[in-house]
Amino acid sequence: MERLQKVIAQAGITSRRKAETLITEGKVKVNGQVVRELGVKVNAKNDQIEVEGVPIDREEPVYFLMYKPQGVISSVKDEKGRKVVTDFINIEQRVFPIGRLDYDTSGLILLTNDGEFANQLMHPKFKIDKVYVAKVRGIPTREELKRLQNGVVLEDGKTAPARVKLISMDKKKQTAIVQLTIHEGRNRQVRRMFEAIGHPVMKLKREQYSFLNIRTMNPGDVRPLKPIEVKHLRELAVTKPS
C-alpha cells in the first residue's frame, strides 16, 4: 500500500505536490469515490484510480540511460517528424526524457516512466552535476575561463559557479576543447555561457550525469539503469540540497 499522491506522481502525470492539490480539490477518484484527504493509502495494482476523469496507467517503473545522438529531439514526439529519443527504445511502457538536451547536442540523457523520480532529479534545489565537453571557436584566456567558473550574467540571470578545465587547443585552427561542469539546467545554458565570453560552441556533448557516464557507449545506445544506480540517484536527490 502506498500514499495516493505518490502513486499519481509515479504514473508520470504530475509532481507529488501537484497531486496533493488535485486530491484536495476533489479531482481524484479511487474505485469510483472522490477522495479529498491526503495520506489515503491505495493498492497501485488493484485500486482503480482516476485523475480528472482519466484512469492512470499503473506500469512497472523503468529507467534507462541513453547516449543521445546529435540531431535527435529530447521529447516523445516532434511536430516536424524529426527523430525523438523514444524512437530508440522499443518497450511497452511509455517513457519520457528527464530534462532535455538540445537538438544539436549529443550525450547522456535519462528516460523513465516514473514521474516522481523525474521530478526529484530535475528539482532546482538539488545540485546534481552534469559534465559537458565543448569544442569552441577561439582559444579562451585564463580570465575568460575564470568568468565561466565564477558565473556569467545571461538574460535570465547569473549562472551558478561552475568547474572549468581547458582540455586542449589548436592554435592553427583557433579552436579549443573545454570541459564544463554545472548543476543548473537552463535552456541552452552551456552554449549561452560560452557565447557570453566570446567563444561560441561548435560541438557539444554531455559526457556525465552525476556518477553516470557514456564512456563505453556509442551514439544511439540505450541501456537499463541498474537498481543500485536508481537507488543512488534517489539518495542524491534527497541528500544534496543547495
Closest residue by Cα to residue 179 from 213, 154, 153: 213
* Distance, CA of 156 to CA of 109 (rounded, Å): 24
For the chain, what percentages of helix, strand and coil (3-state, to nearest 5) are there?
Answer: 25, 30, 45
C-alpha angle with apex 110: 46 to 123, nearest 5 degrees? 80
* Distance, CA of 160 to CA of 217 (rounded, Å): 30
Q: In the annotation, is 102 catalytic?
A: yes
* Distance, CA of 145 to CA of 134 (rounded, Å): 13
Helix (H) or strand (E) holding 203: strand 201-209
C-alpha angle with apex 124: 122 to 126, nearest 5 degrees? 85
Q: Hey, CA dihedral for 87, 215, 169, 195, is it positive or negative? A: positive
Strand pairing category for 96-98 and 49-51: unpaired
The active-site residue, picked from 47, 87, 102, 221, is 102
C-alpha angle with apex 108: 91 to 79, nearest 5 degrees? 60
The angle that helices 227-239 and 115-122 make with each other, rounded to 10 degrees, is 50
Q: Which residues are catalytic?
A: 102
